[in-house]
């Protein structure tokens, strides 16, 4: 079977997602990672729409891409204008990319009621724009916007728009489910009908068409991945999507799901097996660059994708992993995780201890006793299934393997507020490292921030490697709201350095004390990793 061509539009369609924005240099960095991964086409942006995208294309000229063709995106010419005079097409050529993607209108509703155009002029716009780009030696990907909606209402005209692009020389035609409302059964029947009608038009067989068919889907019905896969099963050979499914409204088809499905579930060649093992790091790099918290439940690459909590499940995967896993997590760069909670059995504890590198049996605590203690602590409000680093420290304490790398002597946090200024926070802390005491003070945006800054300032003298650590998430939950302001709270902190992400937890009736426990354990975990 023909290999599947991967077309990434994270840098264009992905940036239309809410709260997602990349600088030109960040786009270059992402493009390099996509190229290293083996993506065939990278849509860098719309050069005719903003200076940043034009800057990206200028910067991309200086990069030697190994696997990918950088692609500029734009629209067909405007009504009544010669292609050579159209600012958008001029900007596309100025981007100097080997490939160009242009979209045109397919749905007669848009042509007549939105654009106030005629069906005849719209066909001319498509044909002349594609022909003009071909005259200037560009490979052309034609995106048929709103194709499936247009086909449902006026199939003959929707097909005429494809004929116009093909007759002008487009190498790819890509039907788009722009509103994201189609079902997989509709995708199947329409793609099959398109291939049949194209074969009839060009007097050939559906497998010998003069153009390659792609698919571009949106996730407004939660079906973007399913629709893309269905299109491939129906004969599409180019799949457009974004990393992590970023995109406008509910997002685009998520390539982090599509790629492993194509390769491992459908035996369709797309990128190498070696590169698919880079999928989770690629997903994390894009989310970090976008300043978006990674979605734990994201299939294949999410933190929870191969996480097991129930004791029966854990007991089974320790014997045969495929009993509760559809594939090996390492194939996509992920890893198996066993969670510890009040649902845990001793198998969870044994698996988790082995994973974290903690030997059980010392100090009289076997796995069954630890399960009992964990369940007691979870009754008090702890939640170890989201705090691996805290659980490792807990196991070390249970088994007499914990060696504190610093000791708190005292801290004081001062909050000040007057009528004209916002709150300010100031923290003073006294710690001891191997008998040497250090007292420091620091300010922060709030009490926890001030405490974090003061602790780091005190420890930097002893542990300069802390400079690479930073806090990326901070959550507070009231455990039992019936006690009002006296209720016990749970503080969850997620931290990271250049290589790892880890989570810690603290519980107390006092939010500052709970925050301190989570913060101190996060710092200790980072330092202990460096000592290993």
The domains located in the chain, with CATH, are 5-271 (3.20.20.70), 307-396 (no CATH), 406-462 (3.30.160.740)
Provide the phi-psi class of 96: left if phi over 0, else alpha when psi is between -120 and 50, else beta: left
Do strands 238-241 and 212-217 pair parallel, antiparallel, or not at all (unpaired)?
parallel
Check whether 484 has a pLDDT greater than 60.
no
Whether 1 shows a pLDDT value over 90: the answer reads no
Q: Give pLDDT, residue 20.
A: 94
249 band by pLDDT with thresholds 50, 70 and 90: very high
Q: How far apart are CA 333 and CA 112, in angstroms?
A: 49
Q: What is the DSSP letter of 122?
A: H
Q: What is the pLDDT of residues 350-385, one digit of tens each?
A: 777 887 888 886 555 677 778 888 878 878 888 887
Buried b (16+ CB within 10 A) or exposed e, 69-93: bbbbbbbbbbeeeebeebebbebbb
Whether residue 486 is predicted with pLDDT greater than 60 in this model: the reply is no
Least confident of 78-92, 237-251, 462-476: 462-476
Model confidence at 144: pLDDT above 90: yes
Q: Taking residues 156-175, report their average pLDDT.
A: 98
pLDDT for 342: 53
Residue 481 has pLDDT above 90, yes or no: no
Give the residue among 470, 458, 469, 471 at the shortest CA–CA distance from 428: 458
Query: Could you tell me which residue, 38 or 315, shows the higher pLDDT?
Result: 38
pLDDT for the residue numbered 364: 52
Phi and psi torsions of 301, nearest 5°: -110, -5
Q: How does residue 424 score in pLDDT terms, banded at 50, 70 and 90?
A: confident
Mean pLDDT, the chain, integer: 90
The per-residue pLDDT for 319 is 76
| Residue among 409, 403, 514 nearest 455 (CA) | 409
Interatomic CA distance for residues 210 and 166, integer angstroms: 8
Confidence of residue 143 (pLDDT cuts 50, 70, 90): very high
Answer whether residue 54 shows pLDDT above 80: yes
Beta strand 238-241 pairing with 307-308: unpaired
3-state secondary structure 363-428: HHCCHHHHHHHHHHHHHHCCCHHHCHHHHHHHHHHHCCCCCCCCEEEEEEEEEEEECCEEEEEEEE
| Residue 380 tokens, joined | 């008090």
Cα separation of 104 and 138, whole Å? 17
Q: What is the pLDDT of residue 262?
A: 98
């Amino acid at each position: 079977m023909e290999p599947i061509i991967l077309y990434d539009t994270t840098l264009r369609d992905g940036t239309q997602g809410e709260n997602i924005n990349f600088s030109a240099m960040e786009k270059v960095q992402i493009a390099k990672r996509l190229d290293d991964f083996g993506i065939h086409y990278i849509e860098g942006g719309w050069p005719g729409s903003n200076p940043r995208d034009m800057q990206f294309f200028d910067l991309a000229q200086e990069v030697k891409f190994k696997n990918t063709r950088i692609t500029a995106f734009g629209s067909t010419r405007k009504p009544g204008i010669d292609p050579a005079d159209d600012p958008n097409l001029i900007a596309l050529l100025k981007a100097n990319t080997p490939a160009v993607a242009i979209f045109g209108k397919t749905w007669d509703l848009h042509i007549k009621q939105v654009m106030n155009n005629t069906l005849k002029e719209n066909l001319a716009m498509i044909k002349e724009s594609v022909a003009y780009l071909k005259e200037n030696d560009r490979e052309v990907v034609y995106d048929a916007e709103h194709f499936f909606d247009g086909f449902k209402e006026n199939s003959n005209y929707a097909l005429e728009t494809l004929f116009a692009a093909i007759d002008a020389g487009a190498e790819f035609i890509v039907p788009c489910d722009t509103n994201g409302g189609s079902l997989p059964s509709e995708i199947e029947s329409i793609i099959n009908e398109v291939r049949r009608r194209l074969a009839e038009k060009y007097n050939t067989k559906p497998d010998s068409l003069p153009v390659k068919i792609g698919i571009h889907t949106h996730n407004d019905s939660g079906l973007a991945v399913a629709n893309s896969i269905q299109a491939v099963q129906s004969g599409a050979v180019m799949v457009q999507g974004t990393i992590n499914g970023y995109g406008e409204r509910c997002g685009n088809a998520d390539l982090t799901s599509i790629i492993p499905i194509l390769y491992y579930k459908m035996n369709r060649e797309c990128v190498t097996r070696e590169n698919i093992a880079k999928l989770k790091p690629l997903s994390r790099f894009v989310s970090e660059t976008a300043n978006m918290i990674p979605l734990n439940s994201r299939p294949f690459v999410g933190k929870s994708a191969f996480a097991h909590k129930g004791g029966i499940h854990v007991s089974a995967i320790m014997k045969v992993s495929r009993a509760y896993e559809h594939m090996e997590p390492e194939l996509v760069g992920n890893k198996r995780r066993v969670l510890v909670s009040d649902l845990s059995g001793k198998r969870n504890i044994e698996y988790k201890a082995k994973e974290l590198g903690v030997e059980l049996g010392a100090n009289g605590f076997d796995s069954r006793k630890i399960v009992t203690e964990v369940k007691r602590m979870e009754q008090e409000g702890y939640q170890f299934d989201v705090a691996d680093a805290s659980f490792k420290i807990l196991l070390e304490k249970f088994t007499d393997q914990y060696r504190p790398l610093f000791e708190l002597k005292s801290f004081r946090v001062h909050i000040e507020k007057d009528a004209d200024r916002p709150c300010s926070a100031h923290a003073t802390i006294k710690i001891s490292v191997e008998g040497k005491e250090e007292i420091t003070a620091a300010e922060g945006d709030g009490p926890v921030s001030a405490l974090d800054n003061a602790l780091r300032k005190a420890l930097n003298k002893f542990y300069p490697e802390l400079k690479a650590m930073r806090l990326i998430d901070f959550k507070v939950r009231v455990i039992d709201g019936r006690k009002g302001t006296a209720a016990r709270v749970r503080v969850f902190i997620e931290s990271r350095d250049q290589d790892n992400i880890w989570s810690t937890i603290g519980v107390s009736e006092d939010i500052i004390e709970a925050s301190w426990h989570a913060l101190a354990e996060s710092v200790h975990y980072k330092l202990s990793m460096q000592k290993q």
